[in-house]
């Protein structure tokens, strides 16, 4: 017994597949590790840049007056902003009698507490105790035109007025300040009290009204403690011209709309003034109990049931506070701010400690996350490890502040491992797909290569045109290996047989279509010839039509190509006469109930057409209408014309054509399977195709449309006039 000879070339396909899949698995794992290491380096670099950007944003906020206001007032509680507590300004004071300087100061400092309905109030003291123990109250609200207090009238409720209550160190002071109109322009008041009026306003910011708020001390019950105003109470109010509310109602005037009104008040606080009067060595500014001082501000209209502005109203939005910086911190980042200097003047040394915890990512698979986190930490990186710190010094009028921003790249590792944990499942799925693909190829392809190789050789020796060849399609497997040799041998033999069979089928189908088409074209003239056998001229005409149809169809590749490539002899033809002849011969052709209506007023309707082809068009359309019309209903043929064209419509009552089939019915071979007369003769969907083809060759158009009672076919032809009539009268095509 002779043992078969084996060589390495017989197993090269198997070795190629297995080596390729092994290298693919190794490459996938290596790519994942390299991508993870690259992402680690990028994440460290991005985190370092992000931390530096966060530091710059924090410093920019803290160097801004609003940030310095937050530094000087660490007691701001966003959760309990009302009742209002005076804030320590980063300015020595406010030029309270200048509207634009007041607005600039309170907006820059960010001390405004915002309320619904576009109201805002700022209560603050200056950082310089030598400016006096005054409390500044400024803000804005919406109001209709201000109503001033009439001169020498003690009824303050008849005018717009302010009520202010201050509680400091257990002592409560109350004022009521009515609005008093002041003519403009006038000179500015000075802080020393000299001058007599409000400042002039620039032309770019006009004010509708402005005046004083004259303060009177009142008791808890609202009674005046003195008939004379408080000289240290100084207040101003200004109102703009522009309406901030919708247009007034029909029963209102334009003055009734709401306008933005600004106010600025300087209040004397006795306990503050007493503290300032002490010796400089004992002076503490701001007062230690400033955060416990309560301020209540109300602005009332004339005889109003509710205040226009109430500082204790709900829905207040606090000013910027140090706690707002926490939103800038990422998980693991810590911000510490400490004061440097005289603790007696600036408060406790430690201000705030903020930790970033927003946006922390929680892993859904903690065990896998820990394993990947350890892997990330072991990967080499060119970024610094551990914590990163930034130290900065912030100067304020009342001392310096140290800020320390600490970041930890381990939080980056944690976030990266959390994301990588989710990607790890996709990596595992890819490896499983690779293994599954290798197993499938081993079972379904590699194992069958040897069997298919022996079978291919046997088929080559036994015969290339045997029955088994029809079961193979191996063109995509051509090549130099075993499967390629098998595919090449079997595909060549199978292709030759399939080509021969396909050519025979095409030739048979063409011949069948050709003979059916010839019969279809001959039947209609023969029926008319049998009906008119006693008239020589008519018989001659239909014989000519039959000859023309035979000439067109014989010797062509297919009926549709024969009809499209046929040549017509166009000449000048009287359309009205032809239609009258068609209508007269219709009963003889088996079409009853044809009604011809002539709406054309032209004496002669000469068109460019081939007489036999145009008569074929009418015959096909009449046969189609005969098949589909409702029994007993007429077929109406209507003729119309204008100066350039003639058009006619053929209408029959019956079922409608689907809207998406109005164009398809003119295609070759399209025949309705629901035709009620299909048992009588064979309809191959050729008649309407012939009609449209002939109409196009004669320069006309034909289309179908649905009407209320049935279907209408419309045909148009150009009229021959003038020189065209002379040319086509000779029979030129």
How far is it, in rounded angstroms, from Cα 60 to Cα 73?
A: 18
How far is it, in rounded angstroms, from Cα 90 to Cα 71?
A: 9
> Could you tell me whether strands 161-168 and 171-181 are parallel, antiparallel, or unpaired per DSSP bridges?
antiparallel
Q: pLDDT value at position 566? A: 72
CB count, 10 Å around CB of 290?
Answer: 19
400-429 pLDDT, tens per residue? 888 888 887 777 777 777 777 777 777 788
CB 649, CB 714: distance < 8 Å = yes
CB count, 10 Å around CB of 243?
Answer: 17
Joined tokens for residue 429: 């799925």
Q: pLDDT value at position 679? A: 46
In the chain, % helix, strand, coil (3-state, to 5) comes to 45, 20, 35
346-394 pLDDT, tens per residue? 444 557 788 876 544 444 556 666 777 667 767 776 665 556 788 888 8
Q: pLDDT value at position 652? A: 94
DSSP assignment string, 55-115 = HHHHHHHHHSHHHHHHHH-TT--TT---SB--EE-SSS---TT-HHHHHHHHHHHT-PEEE
475-509 pLDDT, tens per residue? 555 667 666 676 677 677 667 766 776 777 787 77
Fold of 567-728: Heat Shock Protein 90 (3.30.565)
User: What are the structural domain ranges in the chain?
Assistant: 133-186+203-318, 567-728
Joined tokens for residue 677: 């007369």
Alpha helix segments (H runs only) across 554-610: 559-565, 575-585
CB 218, CB 247: distance < 8 Å = no
How far is it, in rounded angstroms, from Cα 211 to Cα 179?
A: 7
Instruction: State the 10-residue block means of pLDDT for the chain, 733 residues long.
Output: 49 76 84 77 77 87 86 81 87 83 87 89 85 84 88 82 89 90 54 40 54 89 85 90 66 70 89 74 75 90 89 88 84 84 48 69 57 70 67 84 83 73 77 83 70 58 47 58 68 72 74 65 57 54 60 56 74 90 84 90 88 87 90 92 91 91 84 56 71 89 92 92 50 38
In 322-343, which positions are buried (b, 16+ CB within 10 angstroms) versus exposed (e)?
bbbbbebbbbbbbbbbebeeee
> Within 13 Å, how many C-alpha atoms sit on residue 278's CB side?
11
Q: pLDDT value at position 524? A: 58
Q: pLDDT value at position 31? A: 81
556-610 pLDDT, tens per residue? 545 666 666 677 888 899 989 889 888 888 887 788 889 999 998 888 889 999 8
Angle (CA) 725-730-731 rounded to 5° is: 100
Rounded to 5 degrees, φ, ψ at 354 are -120, 140
Beta-ladder partners of 701: 716
Q: pLDDT value at position 703? A: 94
């Amino acid at each position: 017994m002779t043992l078969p000879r084996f060589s390495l070339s017989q197993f090269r396909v198997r070795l190629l597949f297995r080596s390729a899949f092994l290298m693919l698995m190794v490459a996938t794992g290596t790519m994942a590790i390299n991508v993870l290491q690259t992402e680690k380096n990028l994440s460290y670099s991005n985190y370092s840049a992000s931390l530096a950007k966060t530091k710059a944003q924090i410093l920019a906020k803290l160097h801004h007056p609003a940030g310095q206001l937050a530094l000087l007032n660490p007691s701001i509680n966003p959760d309990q902003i009302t009742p209002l507590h005076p804030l320590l300004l980063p300015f020595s004071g406010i030029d309270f009698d200048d509207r634009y300087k007041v607005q600039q100061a309170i907006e820059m400092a960010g001390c405004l507490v915002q309320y619904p309905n576009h109201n805002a109030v700022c209560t603050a003291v200056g950082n310089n105790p030598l400016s006096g123990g005054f409390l500044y109250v400024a803000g804005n609200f919406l109001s209709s035109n201000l109503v001033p207090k009439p001169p020498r009238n003690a009824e303050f409720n008849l005018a717009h007025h302010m009520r202010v209550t201050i509680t400091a160190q257990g002592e409560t002071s109350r004022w009521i300040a009515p609005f008093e109109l002041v003519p403009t322009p006038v000179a500015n008041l000075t802080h020393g009290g000299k001058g007599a009026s409000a400042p002039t306003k620039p032309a770019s910011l006009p004010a509708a009204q402005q005046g004083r708020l004259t303060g009177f001390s009142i008791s808890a019950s609202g009674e005046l403690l003195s008939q004379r105003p408080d000289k240290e109470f100084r207040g101003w109010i200004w109102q703009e011209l522009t309406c901030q509310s919708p247009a007034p109602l029909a029963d209102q005037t334009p003055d009734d709309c709401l306008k933005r009104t600004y106010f600025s008040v300087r209040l004397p606080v006795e306990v503050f003034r007493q503290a300032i009067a002490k010796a400089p060595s004992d002076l503490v500014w701001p007062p230690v109990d400033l955060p416990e001082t309560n301020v209540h501000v109300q602005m009332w209209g004339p005889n109003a049931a509710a205040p226009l502005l109430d500082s204790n109203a709900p829905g207040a939005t606090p000013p910027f506070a140090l706690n707002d910086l926490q939103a800038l911190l990422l998980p693991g980042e810590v911000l510490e701010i400490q004061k440097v200097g005289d603790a007696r003047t600036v408060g406790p040394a430690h201000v705030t400690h903020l930790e970033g915890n927003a946006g922390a990512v929680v892993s859904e698979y903690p065990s896998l996350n820990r394993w990947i986190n350890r892997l990330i930490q072991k990967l080499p990186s060119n970024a610094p490890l551990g914590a990163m710190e930034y130290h900065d010094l912030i100067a304020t009028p009342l001392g310096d502040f140290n800020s320390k921003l600490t970041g930890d790249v381990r939080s980056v590792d944690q976030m990266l491992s959390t994301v990588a944990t989710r990607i790890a499942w996709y990596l595992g799925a890819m490896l499983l797909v690779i293994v599954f693909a290798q197993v499938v190829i081993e079972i379904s392809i590699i194992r069958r290569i040897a069997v298919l190789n022996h079978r291919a050789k046997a088929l080559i020796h036994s015969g290339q045109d045997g029955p088994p060849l029809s079961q193979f399609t191996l063109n995509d497997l051509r090549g130099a290996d075993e499967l390629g040799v098998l595919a090449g041998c079997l595909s060549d033999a199978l292709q030759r047989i399939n080509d021969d069979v396909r050519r025979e089928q095409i030739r048979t189908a063409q011949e069948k279509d050709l003979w059916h088409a010839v019969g279809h074209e001959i039947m209609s003239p023969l029926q008319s010839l049998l009906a008119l056998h006693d008239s020589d001229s008519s018989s001659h005409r239909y014989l000519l039509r039959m000859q023309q149809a035979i000439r067109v169809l014989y010797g062509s590749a297919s009926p549709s190509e024969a009809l499209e490539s046929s040549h017509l002899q166009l000449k000048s033809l009287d359309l009205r006469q032809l239609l009258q002849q068609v209508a007269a011969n219709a009963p003889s052709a088996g079409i009853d109930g044809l009604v011809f209506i002539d709406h054309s007023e032209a004496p002669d309707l000469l068109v460019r057409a081939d007489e036999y082809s145009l008569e074929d068009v009418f015959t096909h359309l009449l046969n189609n209408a005969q098949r589909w019309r409702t029994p007993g209903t007429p077929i109406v043929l209507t003729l119309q014309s204008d100066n350039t064209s003639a058009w006619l419509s053929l209408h029959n009552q019956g079922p409608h054509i689907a809207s998406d089939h109005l164009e398809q019915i003119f295609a070759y071979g399209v025949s309705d399977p629901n035709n009620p007369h299909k048992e009588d003769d064979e309809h191959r969907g050729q008649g309407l195709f012939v009609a449209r083809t002939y109409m196009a060759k004669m320069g006309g158009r034909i289309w179908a449309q649905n009407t209320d009672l049935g279907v209408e076919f419309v045909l148009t032809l150009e009229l021959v006039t003038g020189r065209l009539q002379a040319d086509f009268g000779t029979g030129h095509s």
